[in-house]
Structure 1
Amino acid sequence: MVLIEKRELRKVLHPHYLTNIILALSFILLKSISPICAVTFIPYLSSACMITKLGNVILFAASDPVYCVIYIALCVLQLLLLPEPTYSGPEAIAYYKGADLDEEIARDKRVTWLVELYTVWSPPCIDFSSVFAELSNKYSLPNLKFAKVDLARNTDTATKYKINTSTLSKQLPTLILFENGQESMRRPIVNHQGKLVKFTLSYDTVVSEFDLNNVYEECKKNPIKDKKEKKEKTT
C-alpha cells in the first residue's frame, strides 16, 4: 500500500498545505535565530511529544477504541521502561526536605545558599539538573552552598514560596538565593499584577542574573572561621 499517491502529492504541493507545514515547523525553524529563541530544545521536545501523543490518543479513539487502548498501554510502558534520562554526574548539591533546609539556613546565616525548587517529573527540571550540578561544582564553597528541594514531596514548601507545581506550571524549576538567612532574589518571579515574568534558566543566565562570580569572590574573601581558629589567634 502506497502511503501517498501522486494525485495526493500534487494536492500537498498546494500553497495551503505548504504554509500549514511551515507554520507547524516554525518553532523549530526559528530556534536557529538567537533573538527569537528563548527556550532550550529538550523541554520543547518533551512538551511537543506529549502534545502529539495526546493528539494520537484522540485520533485512535475516533478510529478504533481498541487501537486507542493499545496505544495508551504502549505509552505507559514507554514511561515506565524508558523514562527520560536524568543527570548522574558529579555535583556538590545537598538534598533537603523543606523544613530541614529552613533549619540549615537559619543555623548559620553566614552561609549563602542557592536553592533549586523542583519536581522530578518536570521536563524543564530534568533538563536543568545538569546545569545546576555544573554550577555547584564550579562555585561551591564552605560558605556558598547549593541545595535542592523536591516540591512533589514537600508541598508545604511549595505553598510557603507560592510556587505552582501543576503540569502546566512555568515556575518549575525556581531558583532562590538566600543571603544572611533571608531570600534575596529568585527566578522566575511573579510581578505585582500576579503575572509570571518569563526567565530562561541556563548556565549563562543564572551566572549573570544571580551575579554568581561576584558572590563567589565575596564568599571566598570572607571564609567562615571556626571557633578553634579564633581561639588560636586570640592566644
Structure 2
Amino acid sequence: MSLNKDLRQLLKPYYWVNILLSISYVTCKRTAVICNFLFPNAECELDSRETEILFFLIIVVMLRTRKAGSVTMVNYLSASFVYTKIANLILWFYADIRYGLPYGALVILFALILPEPTYTGPEHITYFRGLQTLEEELKHHKTTWLVCLYAAWHPACVNFAPVFAELSASYSLDNLKFGKLDVGRYPDAAAKFRVQDGPTSRQLPTILLFNEGKEDMRRPQPDHTGKLQKFLFSKDNVKAAFDIDNIYQTCKEKLSVVKNNKKSE
C-alpha cells in the first residue's frame, strides 16, 4: 500500500524533473551519442575526480537522510535532491562553465515553478501562535494534547508533517487533540521546552504528550546520561512510542461516560 502511494507521488512533475536533474551529468557522460556531442574531445567515462565527487555525494546523502529521519522512498528522494543537484552543478562546471551556467539556471527556474508538493489530506491540528496560546490551552486539564514542536525550514519537520496530519485525522477527539508550534518563529517556546532550534538541531521535530496540563513524555528524549536518543518519526514508531491506540480508546471511553451522564441528568 505504501509502495503504491509512493509510486503515485513520484508521478508528480516535481519528482521526475528533479530526478532528471539529479542524474543529468552521469547520463550525459555515459550515453555515447550525447557524450560525443557535448564532449567531442573527451572519453565517455567518468574520470577520477568525477568519481570522487559522486562517492562523496553518496556518503553525504546517506548521512543527511538518516539524520532527517527519512523512512520512505519519497522521503529519501526529497531529502537528497538538494545534494544531488549541487553535485551535478559542480560536475557541469568542472566539465565546462558553458554547461554549468545553464544547468544552474534550470535548477533555479524549476525550483520557482515546481515547488515540492505538500500534504493536502485531512487534518485536525491546532496551530499555536506562540507559547502563551499553548499554555492557555493546557489549562484545560480534561484534554490530552499531542504537540509537535517544529521549524518550517527543517527537512525532518517537512518529512514528518504529513505523518502528523494523518495521525490527527485518525485519532482526534474532543478530549484528544493535536497541535503544532513553530519554534523557528517562537524561540521562547524552544527555550521553555529545552529544544534546540538551530539548523544542526537533532531535536526537530519534537513531540510532546500533555496529560492534565503537564508534560508526560516526549520524543526524542535524552537517556540517563543526557545524550539524545535517536528516534525515527514514522507513523508506526510514533503510535508505538506514545501508545496512541490506548490513549485514543481511553479518551473515547471518557467521552462516552460524560455523554451518558448528561443523558441521565
Q: How high is the TM-score relative to the length of structure 1?
A: 0.73
Code of the aligned partner of 2:133: D
Gaps of 5+ in 1: 30-37
Shift, 1:101, TM fit: 1.1
- What percent of counterpart residues are identical? 41
Shift, 1:126, TM fit: 2.0
Partners of 1:138 and 1:39 in 2: CA distance: 22
| Match among 104, 123, 126 for residue 137 of structure 2 | 104
Shift, 1:207, TM fit: 0.9
Code of the aligned partner of 1:105: L
Cα 1:169–1:11 change in 2 (3 A) is closer
User: What are the Cα deviations for residues 137-172 of structure 1, in whole angstroms up to 9, with x where unaligned?
Assistant: 111111100111112211111222222233333322
1:90 aligned partner: 122
Shift, 1:117, TM fit: 1.2
| Match among 137, 147, 151 for residue 179 of structure 2 | 147
Shift, 1:128, TM fit: 1.7
**Number of residue equivalences:** 218
Cα 1:193–1:78 change in 2 (3 A) is farther
* SS of alignment partner, residue 222 of structure 1: helix
1:118 aligned partner: 150
1:188 aligned partner: 220
Shift, 1:59, TM fit: 5.2
Partners of 1:150 and 1:217 in 2: CA distance: 29
Gaps of 5+ in 2: 1-34, 63-68
1:206 aligned partner: 238
User: What are the Cα deviations for residues 82-119 of structure 1, in whole angstroms up to 9, with x where unaligned?
Assistant: 2221112111111112220111111x111100011112
Code of the aligned partner of 1:119: A
User: What are the Cα deviations for residues 25-80 of structure 1, in whole angstroms up to 9, with x where unaligned?
Assistant: 69999xxxxxxxx7413443233222233445555666777876765555444433
Code of the aligned partner of 2:136: E
Is the CA contact 2:70–2:159 (under 8 Å) kept in the aligned structure 1?
no
Is the CA contact 2:219–2:231 (under 8 Å) kept in the aligned structure 1?
yes
Partners of 2:204 and 2:75 in 1: CA distance: 11
| Match among 175, 184, 198 for residue 207 of structure 2 | 175
Partners of 1:53 and 1:205 in 2: CA distance: 31
Is the CA contact 1:118–1:149 (under 8 Å) kept in the aligned structure 2?
yes
**Alignment RMSD:** 3.9
Code of the aligned partner of 2:125: I
Partners of 2:192 and 2:56 in 1: CA distance: 41
Partners of 1:75 and 1:190 in 2: CA distance: 40
> Is structure 2 residue 169 aligned with structure 1 residue 137?
yes
1:128 aligned partner: 160
Cα 1:157–1:81 change in 2 (3 A) is farther
> Is structure 2 residue 78 aligned with structure 1 residue 46?
yes
Cα 1:162–1:73 change in 2 (3 A) is farther
* SS of alignment partner, residue 216 of structure 2: strand
> Is structure 2 residue 193 aligned with structure 1 residue 161?
yes
Is the CA contact 1:43–1:123 (under 8 Å) kept in the aligned structure 2?
no
